Chain A
Amino acid sequence: MATRPEQLAPPEVFYNDTEARKYTTSSRMVEIQANLTERALELLNLPEDGEPKLLLDLGCGSGLSGESLTECGHHWLGMDISEAMLDVACEREVEGDVMLSDIGQGLPLRTGVFDGAISISAIQWLCNADKTANDPRQRLKAFFQTLYRSLARGARAVLQFYPDGPKQVEMISSAAMRVGFSGGLVVDFPHSTRAKKYFLVLMAGPPSVNSTLPKAKGVDGGSESNEDDVSEDDEGATVEFADRQRHAKRRRKDGKRGKGRSWILNKKRQQREKGVEVPADTKYTGRKRKARF
């Protein structure tokens, strides 16, 4: 089995110039990160009022995940510990603001301001103790505590990560729970070794009407995946932290990504008819980003 990058070097060393460039020039990588981000956005379950939101992208790297946020019209603030990755993000002129920050030191943010947070393929790095001063438990605690605080009440954080085993899943999710988050783990494609993806879906603040658990695709009236043979029950979508392994939600979906231009145009028209202000339709509307940079 290949060695995990987390075991090779600390993130700020591993993600050097070469790695940063490799990352954004691989069209496969671009596609994977875009897919993961779209899924994370879906799980974030933002209000469908057509208004842009203010989001966090934790471990934003070269901005691949952030670009998907921009495509949906949102403003975002990205944090990453690797200068090389952020340099690439700037070269690519991402729309979000990015800053150099170690999320294991806690987020330098005000209280209650963000509408949501995503993190794509980053937080497993917090489980490594690269320096003697790094205590993974303490770093996870600082991270979750400050993340919780920075979110508006009722807002969610969706954190996709690559655990190296069940112990790491446990360590990360219990750290999240301990600071007051509710929520659980959504595992996509649980039976495929390659496609299996872990999303920690967290909610800040007391459970409310809005804290119904992640819905599967297509339930919001979209036509996209009604034809999918997804066996969905909303309740199963989020797994209680305590016995998540046993009841892990099973999802299947086809390979399609994105909702497509016609879906977006239609949604925008509906919003306009409701009197909601939406950006004008242009040739860029719903355009797929080219997988090259």
Chain B
Amino acid sequence: MRLLTHNMLACNIKGVTKGYPLKIEATKTEEKETDFNAGFLRHIYPKLDWKALREAAASLGLEELPEQVEPSQLEDEDFLRRFHHVLLEIHLEEGALVCPETGRRFPVSKGIPNMLLNEDEV
């Protein structure tokens, strides 16, 4: 699972209102190279929760992303490459995603988060 996906996931346990962003507990991450596409980065940027992405990157010990992104940076290849790397090339392989409100852990194994809810959570 990449940080792109992490950025889109929220805890949907019944009654939870502040289930975003999920905290990352990583025991194993992997780097996988993928094609760079500036168009996609510019397209997805406004939809991202930048703060959540920054924090996720920090929690994995990745290179720091700026707090704010200036429009000019989205034209800067150097920045876009760093953004690309954090968003699309780092995979959480083993660990867990933790709901910030309830503390419920969603295990991640072989790169697959288990988001199944128990009956009493639906």
Q: How far is the CB of A136 from chain B (nearest CB, A)?
A: 14
A54 within 8 A of B: yes
Chain B residue nearest to A49 (CB atoms) is B39
B1, B43, B44: the one contacting A99 at CB < 8 Å is B1
Contact A113 B37 (CB under 8 A): no
Q: A97-B4, A97-B5, A106-B12 are contacts. A86–B112 as well, Cβ < 8 Å? A: yes
Q: Does A9 interact with chain B (Cβ within 8 Å)? A: no
Residue interface bits A90-117, CB-to-B below 8 A is 1, else 0: 1000010111111001111110111000
Bound-complex Cα distance A144 to B1 (A):
24
Q: Is A87 an interface residue (CB 8 A)?
A: yes
Specify which chain A residues have a CB less than 8 angstroms from the CB of B111 in the assembled complex: 90, 97
User: If A97-B2, A277-B39 touch, does A109 touch B113 (CB 8 Å cutoff)?
Assistant: no
Q: Which B residues from 48 to 83 make CB contacts under 8 A with A?
A: 49
Q: Say yes or no for A52: interface residue by CB 8 A criterion.
A: yes
Residues of A within 8 Å of B1, CB to CB, are 97, 99
Q: Number of B residues contacting the other chain (C-beta, 8 Å)?
A: 33
CB distance from B22 to the nearest CB of A (A): 9
Question: B44, B47, B115: which contacts A108 (Cβ < 8 A)?
Answer: B115
A75 at the interface (CB under 8 A from B): yes
| A8 within 8 Å of B (CB atoms) | no
Most chain B CB within a 10 A radius of its CB, from A86, A110, A114, A146: A110
* CA distance in complex: A73, B5 (Å): 17
- Determine if B9 and A277 form an interchain contact, defined as CB atoms under 8 angstroms apart: no
Q: Which residue of A is nearest B111, CB measured?
A: A90
State which of B7, B9, B43, B116 has its C-beta within 8 Å of the C-beta of A102: B116
Scan residues 203-236 of chain A and give those whose CB is less than 8 A from a CB of chain B.
none
Q: Given A77-B8, A97-B1, A152-B47, is A110 in contact with B20 using a C-beta cutoff of 8 Å?
A: yes
Question: Is the pair A77, B12 in contact by a Cβ cutoff of 8 Å?
Answer: no
Q: List the A side residues contacting B39 at CB < 8 Å.
A: 49-52, 276-277
A residues within 8 A CB of B44?
Answer: 54
Is B47 a contact partner of A146 (Cβ separation < 8 A)? no
Verify if A5 is at the interface (C-beta below 8 Å from B).
no
Residues of A within 8 A of B4 (CB): 54, 75, 97
B residues neighboring A (CB under 8 Å): 1-2, 4-5, 7-12, 19-20, 34-35, 37-40, 43-44, 47, 49, 88, 110-117, 119, 122
Besides A99-B113, A105-B117, 18 other CB < 8 A contacts?
A: A51-B43, A53-B43, A77-B8, A90-B112, A97-B4, A99-B1, A99-B5, A99-B114, A99-B115, A100-B114, A100-B115, A102-B116, A102-B117, A107-B12, A108-B10, A110-B7, A146-B12, A277-B37
24 residue pairs of the A-B complex, CB under 8 angstroms, read A49-B39, A50-B39, A51-B40, A53-B43, A75-B40, A87-B110, A90-B111, A90-B112, A97-B5, A99-B112, A99-B113, A100-B115, A101-B115, A102-B117, A106-B12, A106-B122, A108-B10, A109-B10, A110-B9, A113-B47, A142-B122, A150-B8, A277-B39, A279-B37
Nearest 6 A/B pairs, CB to CB: A108-B12, A51-B39, A97-B5, A52-B40, A101-B115, A100-B114
